[in-house]
Amino acid sequence: MTLMEDAKKGIITPQIKAVAEAEGIDAERVRSCVAKGWITIPHNIEGNSRLIAVGKYMSTKVNANIGTSRDYVDIEEEVKKAKASETFGADTLMDLSTGGNLSMIRQRIMDAVDIPIGTVPIYQAAATQKAVVDMSSDDMFNSVRKHAEDGVDFVTVHCGVNQNALEHLVTSDRIMNVVSRGGSFSIAWMLHNDQENPFYAEYDYLLEIAREYDMTVSLGDGMRPGCIHDASDRPKFMEFITLGELVKRARAVDVQTFVEGPGHVPIDEVELSVKGMKQLCDGAPLYLLGPLVTDIAPGYDHITGAIGGTLAGMYGADFLCMTTPSEHLALPSVDDIKEGAIVTKIAAHAADLVKDGQRERARAWDIEMAHARSDLDWEAQYRLAINGERARCIRESRVTGSDACSMCGDLCAMKIVRDALSGGGELDSKSDS
Ligand code: SF4
């Protein structure tokens, strides 16, 4: 029995109970959303990762992407990145390795952290052949099964990249065509072999494997726009119509899903994008990369992604895949991963401040910080800060002896008004320049 099957039968399983408690939401409400496919709890029966829930009423989750490339393989560094992701707030981790011994790297990463693990099995299928187009459909499905057996909690599979989507891509006026790596593998394979994408053509078989291990299927967006010009075009929405149908088929056999989304989207299209994708996929948890709201900031794309992620979260996105300062430039370093995780966590929290089910809990944190600021209670501020270590480091690098901070010193607005309200303190007129 899968978790969704239990939920449909009205059973509040220990997993549902645990996430309901962690999120401060009534367990029956969580059960009902799991049954409908609006909340997903990625948890392979062969794995032992921490339980987290993504979707309606749940806090906005953050995923970190790590992994080797064919050009750069340093397993110890990937393990450090995995640990940094978890330490600095990632709720899940995707191993996107394409270089080195992929099974061994995945195992090392899974052993290093407690959070759910996601992968893209087609990367390993492609690694079995010299050229991507030489994979067989058996290689693809065997790779999915191998990842399921190894305890991977969710797999990204680009099932929506079918001949129909390809046709719309070819006739579109896109600048960047396809920027999804998995999507590009599928397209190259389909064109070279003149066949339908096996993950679309034999989707029922994919679901059979996922069901056996209660593994979540993350429906990848192979047509993800790679620049704001391409953001809301036909290839993208054609793919989403297909993904909506695939979500329905997965739910019919009690397999949980996420739906992945863009990419690069200008801010005035974020609402349309999120609401459209949610509508087409009947409320399935939406997992976004960014979205990056401009194309001109390489080196700062953790920020362009956080701006889009905050907006997207406000309009209903459930799961934000972090971007790092290295996005579009290089394989991220451990420091990049740390920075990306923290910045994306800020975006997720900002979205939670206005999200149904999380608003009150999220605001309680901000209110506590406001009191600590007002009281000039620095230790409380460090404890409450998303990165207390950094906050302490900045303040202590410029200490002046004042109980305020070196920004205003004796002219601290909070001190002045507090003293004034209590009938004490006068502002030295000489200081008022
Ligand atoms: S000194 Fe200025 S910046 Fe520092 S706490 Fe007071 S008002 Fe805020």
What CATH number is given to the structural domain containing 224? 3.20.20.540
Give the pLDDT score at 423: 83
Question: Do 140 and 96 share a structural domain?
Answer: yes
- Residue 418 is part of which domain span? 408-433
Q: What is the pTM of this model?
A: 0.94
Residue 157 lies in a domain: yes
Bridge partners of residue 218, in order along the sequence: 156, 258
Res. 433 pLDDT band, cuts 50 70 90: very low
Give the pLDDT score at 428: 53
Atom of ligand 1 nearest to the CA of 409: 1
Task: Give 406 Cα–ligand 1 centroid separation in angstroms.
Answer: 7
Residue 414 lies in a domain: yes
Q: Report the percentage of the chain scoring pLDDT > 90.
A: 91
Q: How far apart are CA 60 and CA 192, in angstroms?
A: 40
Decide whether any atom of ligand 1 lies within 6 Å of the 412 Cβ.
Answer: yes
Q: From atom 3 of ligand 1, which residue's Cα is the shortest distance away? A: 407
pLDDT of 432 strictly over 80: no
The residues near 157 (Cβ < 8 Å, ≥ 6 apart) are 120, 121, 122, 144, 182, 199, 206, 217, 218, 219, 220
Q: How far apart are CA 379 and CA 175, in angstroms?
A: 50
Question: Do 392 and 256 share a structural domain?
Answer: no
How many domains are there within the chain? 3
Residue 5 lies in a domain: no
Question: Do 88 and 203 share a structural domain?
Answer: yes
Res. 427 pLDDT band, cuts 50 70 90: low
Res. 286 pLDDT band, cuts 50 70 90: very high
Look over the chain and give the mean of its residue pLDDT values, rounded to a whole number. 95
Q: Name the residue with tokens 């740390």.
A: 338
Question: Do 165 and 311 share a structural domain?
Answer: yes
Question: Do 200 and 157 share a structural domain?
Answer: yes
pLDDT of 426 strictly over 70: no
Decide if 241 contacts 269 (C-beta within 8 A). no
Give the pLDDT score at 166: 93
Lowest-confidence segment of 150-159, 161-170, 295-304, 415-424 by average pLDDT: 415-424
The residues near 6 (Cβ < 8 Å, ≥ 6 apart) are 13
Question: Do 386 and 416 share a structural domain?
Answer: no
- The alpha carbon of 144 is separated from its chain's Cα centroid by a whole number of angstroms, namely 21
Res. 125 pLDDT band, cuts 50 70 90: very high
Q: How far apart are CA 113 and CA 168, in angstroms?
A: 41
Give the pLDDT score at 389: 95
Residue 8 lies in a domain: no
Residue 32 lies in a domain: no
Q: For the chain, how many residues are written?
A: 433
Res. 425 pLDDT band, cuts 50 70 90: low
Q: How far apart are CA 31 and CA 260, in angstroms?
A: 23
Decide whether any atom of ligand 1 lies within 6 Å of the 367 Cβ.
Answer: no
Task: Give 387 Cα–ligand 1 centroid separation in angstroms.
Answer: 19
Task: Give 394 Cα–ligand 1 centroid separation in angstroms.
Answer: 14
Task: Give 430 Cα–ligand 1 centroid separation in angstroms.
Answer: 19
Decide whether any atom of ligand 1 lies within 6 Å of the 417 Cβ.
Answer: no
Decide whether any atom of ligand 1 lies within 6 Å of the 394 Cβ.
Answer: no
Residue 64 lies in a domain: yes
- Residue that terminates a domain, selected from 297, 328, 357: 357
Atom of ligand 1 nearest to the CA of 413: 7
Within 13 Å, how many C-alpha atoms sit on residue 248's CB side?
Answer: 11
Q: How far apart are CA 315 and CA 354, in angstroms?
A: 9
Residue 413 lies in a domain: yes
Q: How far apart are CA 141 and CA 294, in angstroms?
A: 37
Q: What is the pLDDT of residues 61-104, one digit of tens each?
A: 999 999 999 999 999 999 999 999 999 999 999 999 999 999 99
Atom of ligand 1 nearest to the CA of 402: 1
Question: Do 305 and 241 share a structural domain?
Answer: yes
Q: How far apart are CA 291 and CA 304, in angstroms?
A: 8
Q: How far apart are CA 95 and CA 76, in angstroms?
A: 14
What is the average per-residue pLDDT within 376-404?
93
The first and second tokens of residue 430, run together, are: 């000489």
Q: From atom 4 of ligand 1, which residue's Cα is the shortest distance away? A: 405
- Residue that terminates a domain, selected from 296, 331, 357: 357
What is the average per-residue pLDDT within 102-115?
97
> 3-state secondary structure string, the chain?
CCHHHHHHCCCCCHHHHHHHHHHCCCHHHHHHHHHHCCEECCCCCCCCCCCCCEECCCCCEEEEEECCCCCCCCHHHHHHHHHHHHHCCCCEEEECCCCCCHHHHHHHHHHHCCCCEEECHHHHHHHCCCCHHHCCHHHHHHHHHHHHHCCCCEEEECCCCCHHHHHHHHCCCCCCCCCCHHHHHHHHHHHHHCCCCHHHHCHHHHHHHHHHHCCEEEECCCCCCCCHHHCCCHHHHHHHHHHHHHHHHHHHCCCCEEEEECCECCHHHHHHHHHHHHHHCCCCCEEEECCECCCCCCCCHHHHHHHHHHHHHHHCCCEEECCCCCCCCCCCCHHHHHHHHHHHHHHHHHHHCCCCCCHHHHHHHHHHHHHHHHCCCHHHHHHHCCCHHHHHHHHHCCCCCCCCCCCCHHHCHHHHHHHHHCCCCCCCHHHCC
Residue 196 lies in a domain: yes
Question: Do 367 and 350 share a structural domain?
Answer: no
Question: Do 241 and 166 share a structural domain?
Answer: yes
What is the average per-residue pLDDT within 381-387?
97
pLDDT of 32 strictly over 90: yes
Question: Do 348 and 245 share a structural domain?
Answer: yes
Q: How far apart are CA 79 and CA 4, in angstroms?
A: 32
Lowest-confidence segment of 31-40, 77-86, 198-207, 423-432 by average pLDDT: 423-432
Does residue 430 or residue 23 have the better pLDDT? 23
What is the average per-residue pLDDT within 197-220?
98
Question: Do 292 and 158 share a structural domain?
Answer: yes
Res. 401 pLDDT band, cuts 50 70 90: confident
Q: What is the pLDDT of residues 315-370, one digit of tens each?
A: 999 999 999 999 999 999 999 999 999 999 999 999 999 999 999 999 999 999 99
Give the pLDDT score at 430: 45
Decide whether any atom of ligand 1 lies within 6 Å of the 411 Cβ.
Answer: no
Question: Do 321 and 257 share a structural domain?
Answer: yes
Task: Give 411 Cα–ligand 1 centroid separation in angstroms.
Answer: 8
